[in-house]
C-alpha cells in the first residue's frame, strides 16, 4: 500500500492550563507583576496629597499675595468712591445754579435745603432733638418720602445719592456727635442717607450769621473759592470741631466767633481750627478721603464750588472756603 495514501488521524494538542494558556503572561509574569506594583504605588502616592510642609508653603504664598493685592484693591475701591462722591456734588452745584436762576439770584435757606420745615414731623415723635438726627432717620429719606421735601429738593432730582459712598460705609450707630449720642436709642429706622450739607453763610436768614452771610450769588466775592455744599463727618475731634454731622448746613461759627477769629488771625485766609489755629469750630469739612488709617479726620472732604468745580480739601481750609465775603 502506498504510504502516501495512508490516513493519519489529526493530532490536537491541548495546552497546559497554567503554563500554555497565556504563555507570554507565564513567561513575563514577574516583570508584569512588577509593573502593576509600580502603578499601585504611584496611585497611592497621588492619593496621599500634599505634605504639611507643602501646605504651609502654599498658605504662606497666598498670604504674601493677599498682602500685596489688598492695599491696591482698597485703593481702587476708595478711588471709585471718591469719583462717585464728586459726581454727586457736581449735581449739587448745578442745582444751586438753577435755583438761583429761578429765584432772583437768591440762595435757598440752608436750614431748609432738604426739608420743608425745621419743626418736627409726626414720624419724628419720641425724639428729643429730631432736627439733628434727620441725616440718619430713614423715615425722612426724601427719595422714599418726598412729602417732607423743601423748595430746593426739586432741583436735586438728578442727584443719584445725597450721601458719599465712603461715608455710607463708615457710618454706624456710633456717631460721636453729642446730639446723636443723647437721642440715638430712640431712632426707629436708622438709615444714614445724607452727609452733604450747605454752606451756612449762603442765604441764611439767621440772626446768628447775619453779618457773615450773603443772600445772593452776585454778592459772593470769589465764586471759585467758595463752596455751596460740602461733606461732613459723624466723627468728632473736640480740639477741631464741637459737632459732627447733625443738620443740613455746615457752619464754622457765629458772627461773634468770626469777629474774634478775624481779630486774632488778621485775615480770613489764616483762620483755621484746632490748637494751631483759633480753637474749635462748630463744624468742619469731613476728612475721611485720603485719611491715614489711624485718624479718619485728617484726610480731605469734597467741596462743590460756586463756579462749578468740585475738589477735595482739608478741615484746616474750612473757613476760608466757606467765607463768601
Instruction: Please give the Cα distance from 230 to 276 (Å, whole number).
Output: 23
**Is 105 inside a domain boundary?**
yes
- The number of helix segments (H) and strand segments (E) in the chain equals 6, 5
Measuring CA to CA, which residue among 193, 192, 175, 197 is closest to residue 184?
175
Cα separation values, 160 from 89, 164, 212, 218, 250, Å: 10, 10, 32, 29, 21
3-state secondary structure of 310: strand
User: Which of 293, 311, 292, 291 lies closest to 302, judged by CA?
Assistant: 311
The candidate with the shortest Cα–Cα distance to 244, out of 253, 230, 233, is: 233
Domain membership flag for residue 20: no
What is the residue whose three cell numbers read 504662606? Answer: 60
Residues 6+ away with beta carbon under 8 Å from 290 = 299, 300, 312
Whole-number pLDDT of residue 38: 59
- Residue 262 domain-assigned (yes or no): yes
- Non-local (6+) Cβ contacts of 83 within 8 A are none
pLDDT at position 124: 95
SS3 216: strand
Per the structure, the complete domain to which residue 156 belongs is given by 64-322
pLDDT recorded at residue 39:
55
Count of structural domains within the chain: 1
Give a yes or no: residue 42 inside a domain.
no
Q: What is the mean pLDDT of each run of 10 residues along the chain (325 residues)?
A: 52 52 48 54 57 86 80 72 92 96 97 95 94 95 96 92 90 83 90 96 95 97 97 93 95 97 96 96 94 85 97 97 97
pLDDT at res. 63: 84
pLDDT of the residue at 22: 47
Comparing CA positions, the residue from 311, 286, 289 lying closest to residue 224 is 311
Residue 92 lies in a domain: yes
Longest CA–CA span in the chain (Å) reads: 155
Q: Is residue 59 part of a domain?
A: no
Is 5 inside any structural domain?
no
Kindly state whether residue 21 falls inside one of the protein's structural domains.
Answer: no
Amino acid at each position: 500500500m502506498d504510504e502516501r495514501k495512508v490516513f493519519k488521524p489529526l493530532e490536537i494538542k491541548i495546552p497546559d492550563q497554567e503554563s500554555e494558556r497565556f504563555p507570554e503572561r507565564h513567561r513575563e509574569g514577574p516583570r508584569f507583576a512588577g509593573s502593576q506594583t509600580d502603578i499601585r504605588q504611584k496611585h497611592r502616592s497621588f492619593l496621599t496629597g500634599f505634605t504639611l510642609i507643602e501646605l504651609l508653603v502654599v498658605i504662606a504664598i497666598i498670604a504674601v499675595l493677599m498682602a500685596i493685592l489688598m492695599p491696591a484693591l482698597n485703593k481702587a475701591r476708595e478711588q471709585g468712591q471718591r469719583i462717585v462722591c464728586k459726581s454727586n456734588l457736581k449735581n449739587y452745584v448745578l442745582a444751586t445754579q438753577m435755583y438761583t436762576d429761578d429765584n432772583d439770584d437768591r440762595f435757598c435757606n440752608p436750614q431748609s435745603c432738604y426739608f420743608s420745615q425745621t419743626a418736627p414731623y409726626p414720624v419724628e415723635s419720641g425724639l428729643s432733638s429730631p432736627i439733628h438726627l434727620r441725616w440718619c432717620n430713614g423715615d425722612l429719606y426724601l427719595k422714599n418720602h418726598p412729602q417732607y421735601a423743601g423748595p430746593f429738593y426739586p432741583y436735586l432730582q438728578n442727584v443719584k445719592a445725597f450721601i458719599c459712598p465712603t461715608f455710607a460705609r463708615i457710618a454706624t450707630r456710633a456717631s460721636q456727635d453729642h446730639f446723636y449720642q443723647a437721642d440715638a436709642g430712640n431712632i426707629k429706622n436708622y438709615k444714614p442717607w445724607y452727609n452733604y450739607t450747605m454752606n451756612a453763610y449762603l442765604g441764611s436768614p439767621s440772626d446768628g450769621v447775619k453779618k457773615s452771610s450773603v443772600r445772593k450769588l452776585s454778592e459772593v466775592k470769589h465764586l471759585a473759592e467758595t463752596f455751596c455744599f460740602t461733606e461732613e463727618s459723624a466723627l468728632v475731634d473736640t480740639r477741631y470741631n464741637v459737632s459732627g454731622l447733625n443738620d443740613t448746613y455746615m457752619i464754622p461759627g457765629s458772627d461773634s466767633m468770626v469777629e474774634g477769629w478775624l481779630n486774632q488771625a488778621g485775615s480770613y485766609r489764616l483762620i483755621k481750627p484746632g490748637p494751631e489755629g483759633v480753637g474749635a469750630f462748630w463744624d468742619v469739612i469731613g476728612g475721611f478721603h485720603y485719611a491715614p488709617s489711624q485718624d479718619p479726620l485728617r484726610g480731605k472732604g469734597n467741596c462743590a464750588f460756586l463756579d462749578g468745580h468740585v475738589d477735595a480739601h482739608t478741615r484746616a481750609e474750612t473757613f476760608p472756603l466757606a467765607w463768601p465775603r
